Amino acid sequence: MVCGCISAHGMGDLNICEGTIKAEQSIQVLEQHMLPSRQCLFQRRPCLFQYDNDKPHSARITTACLCRKRVRVLNWPACSPDLSPTEIIWRIMKQQI
């Protein structure tokens, strides 16, 4: 699995995750990659974090971590690649190859 971070202000870290992602690994990716990327891209400006409602993302420990870190989350439906900016970018890249 590839985890990435993009915004109108630029790109954040790209992380390749091996195997199945569970809530604990999801939190680790958030803390090691997303939060530093958010700080770099937005400094102290407000932003919304958007990701799908896959089980690791919506687990209680994950949502509690996001709450503790004061991350505002824009929830959206699981299994909706048509709404994902990352999936749209992957589709464009595949068309170019």
Q: Domains (ranges, CATH) in the chain?
A: 2-96 (3.30.420.10)
For 48, the token pair is: 């919304």
Give the model's confidence band at 63: pLDDT under 50 very low, under 70 low, under 90 confident, else very high.
Answer: very high
Instruction: Read off the pTM.
Output: 0.73
How far apart are the two ends of the chain, measured CA to CA in Å?
A: 20
86 or 22, higher pLDDT: 22
Q: Does residue 64 register a pLDDT over 90?
A: yes
